[in-house]
Every structure is written in C-alpha cells, then in structure tokens.
Structure 1
Amino acid sequence: MQIEDKKFELYLSEERIQESIKEVANRINEDYKGEKIIFVGVLNGAFMFAADLMKNIALDCEISFVKVSSYKGTSSTGQVHELIGLSTDIKDKHVVILEDIVDSGLTLSKLYSMIDHNSPTSVEVATLLYKPDAFKGKYPPKYVGIEIPNKFIVGYGLDYLEQGRNTRDIYQITE
C-alpha cells in the first residue's frame, strides 16, 4: 500500500485485530462485573477500536471522546495538545481510556492529568496496540490487545498524514 511518499506492507490482519479486541473486552467485562464504567475514546485514531470494543462489552457503560494531538508525519512532536476536552461527568466513576496505540506514553500522561483532576474512582487504559520498547511514561496500559515493535504503522484508525485510517488491516512502513 502506498500513502503519499511512504510504502506499507500488511502487518496485522483484520482477523487478528478482532480476536485481540474480544480478548481485551473479555478482561474488562470480568474486571468490572457489576460496575458501571465510562469509556473515554481518544480521537481520531481510536474510533475504530472503540466501536469494535463496545460491541463486545457486556456492562452498563457510557462512552465519551476527547481529542489530543502529538504526531506530525511519522514521529511524535514531543508535545500533546488538547483539541477537544472531556465533557462527561466522571466524578466517583470508573474510567477506561481507549487508545489506538501507546508508544512513548506522552499522550497518556496528558490524558491522566485531564481526567484525574475530575476525581474518578479509578482510571485504567485499554489499547489495541502497545510498543513497550518505546514506552517512557509512568502509566502503562492495563489492557493490551497486541504488543508490537517500535515501527511506524497505519490502518484501522491509525494514519499517516491523516490518510489510511479506513483499512480493516494494519500495515507497517517498509522504508
């Protein structure tokens, strides 16, 4: 697959992605049995993960979204900007942040500071993809679909220059 000036090859199939989402949902369903939780999806990348995860959640729950940005092209800018903030009341509630991918942990740190000052009962992170070799934050995700190496990927909500989000599979950069 070609997007702009970069070439990508198939890395994770739709079947593998969906299988891992069901596993994450099963763990969340078990851990929060009898509890009401609020999912907070991180736009734009996590919209597909959030939608497919919610189809497998068997709990009383709500979902809300925030939008933050830290990437330009294929690398992090080192700064996280809040573009759309949290508008849902999360005081004394269990919150699960939904991320498409966790790499450096910079975005998670920003999200924790956004959410924590609203006094939730608990805050955890569920992510489709996790790059443990790139992680430098203090809040690792509790629910991880697939651990991957520190390579740039696109598809299934993840983008390169805002393109490629609409694929069912995930592709890895080849150059």
Structure 2
Amino acid sequence: MQSDLERVLFEEATILRRLDEMAAQISEHYRDRELTVIAILNGSLMFMADLLRRIPLPLRLDCLSVASYHGKTETSGELIFKQVAPDVADRHLLILDDILDSGQTLVAVREKLQMANPRSIRVCVLLRKKKLRERPANADYLGFEIEDEFVVGYGLDFMERYRNLPCIGVLRKELIAQPK
C-alpha cells in the first residue's frame, strides 16, 4: 500500500513526536479541569488513540460520525450527522479531527455542540491544509500544516482504504482518477 503513495510527508516517528508536544500543551491547558474529548470519526481514530494515551488527565470520550466526502477527494458540502450529539452541557470540550480542509465539518460540529451550552470548546487537528476557506475555522492545537494535496494514512482514507498506513503521504494522482 505504501507504494501507492507519491511521497511520504510524515513518518510514524515524526507524527508520534508531534503528538507528545501536542499532549503536553493540552495537558497544561486542562490541568485543573475535567476534559471531554469529542472525536470525529472515522478519520481521527488513529490520531485520537495515540494522542489520548499521552494525556495524563481525567477525561471523557465521545465520538461523532460525520460524513462529508462521500467517496470523493473534496468535501461535498453536505454534512450528515450519523447520531445524536452527546450531552456536553457545562463541560470543557476538545474536538478532535484528522484534517482541517474546507473547515465545513469543524464549523458544523462546533455549532452543533455550542447549542448544548458547554463551558468551553477548543479544536485539535492533526493536519491543516494551507488554503482559503469559505467559513473561518481555526484549530487551537495543530499537528502539521500541509499543502492543499490529497493525503492518506494514519487514519486518513481514500474510498475507505489506506487508513492503516503508519505514515501520512500524498496518494498518487492516477489512483485518485481511477478508484478501485
């Protein structure tokens, strides 16, 4: 599968070192508060598991399944929440997502959770693409900034494949043009 990559952007060791740094920042910020993590599935699974093991704080975990790509390389703009949002009233929330691309998913999730009156909401993403966004979407904690390319691995997929790669890389363009 790694041979399907045009190039590797981040090896596993590099990702894990960055997660150590991010976990230290998050732990410092929430050191005296209970944290509720809301992970956006399925892309954030690897990121979530590795990051949360590095945070030595009491925390709660909930997941939201939100679809926006629908088998394409760009978000369709149509978001589908696959279940009811968890009860987050009066909690300190940290939304985890794999990638900040168009920003539509994060903005929609944040707006949905904000309606439940949490104490605070912060956002943590592994990757953020360098691009203009129609709606402003920011990350309080960021792993890496990347160019506007289609990436896979470490939870990120194309047509539900490549999530289990230990690295993050750019998928070869001919594979995107001719999905299996």
Q: Same fold (TM over 0.5)?
A: yes
Between the aligned partners of 1:135 and 1:26, the Cα distance in structure 2 is: 29
TM-score w.r.t. length of structure 1: 0.92
Q: Partner of 2:13: helix, strand, or coil?
A: helix
Contact 2:5-2:169 at 8 Å conserved across structures: no
Identity of matched residues, %: 33
The one-character-per-residue Cα deviations of 1:11-43 (angstroms, maximum 9, x if unpaired) are: 210011111111111110011111101000000
2:77 maps to which residue?
Answer: 78
Displacement of 1:125 after TM fit? 0.4
Counterparts of 1:59 and 1:135, CA distance in 2:
34
Aligned amino acid, residue 15 of structure 1: A
Aligned runs of 1:16-165 on 2, under 5 Å? 16-71=14-69, 72-87=71-86, 89-165=87-163
TM-superposed CA distance for 1:134, in Å, is 4.3
Q: CA deviation at 1:2?
A: 6.9
Is the 8 Å Cα contact of residues 154 and 171 (structure 1) preserved in structure 2? yes
Letter in 2 for 1:74: T
Q: Deviations over 1:58-93 (max 9, x none)?
A: 111111100001113211112211113323x21111
Inter-partner Cα distance in structure 2 for 1:132 and 1:120: 29
Change (3 A) 1:65 1:112: same
Paired residue total: 172
Task: Give the TM-score, by structure 2 length.
Answer: 0.89
1-structure distance, mates of 2:134, 2:50 = 28
Question: Structure 2 CA distance, aligned partners of 1:31 and 1:53?
Answer: 15
Superposed displacement of residue 101, structure 1: 0.5
Matches of 1:61 and 1:79, distance apart in 2: 31
SS in 2 for 1:25: helix
SS of the residue aligned with 1:79? coil
Tell me the SS of whatever aligns to 1:84. coil
- CA contact 1:102–1:135 (8 Å) conserved in 2: no
Greater displacement, 127-136 / 19-28: 127-136
User: Distance between the aligned counterparts of 1:139 and 1:149, measured in 2?
Assistant: 17
Q: Aligned with 2:78: secondary structure?
A: strand
Secondary structure at the residue paired with 1:104? coil
Equivalent pair of 2:2/2:165 in contact (CA under 8 Å): no
* Root-mean-square deviation (Å): 1.6
Whole-Å separation in 2 of the counterparts to 1:2 and 1:30: 36
Structure 1 runs not aligned, ≥5 long: none
Q: CA deviation at 1:8?
A: 3.6
Amino acid at match of 2:10: L
Query: Structure 2 regions of 5+ residues with no counterpart?
Result: 174-180
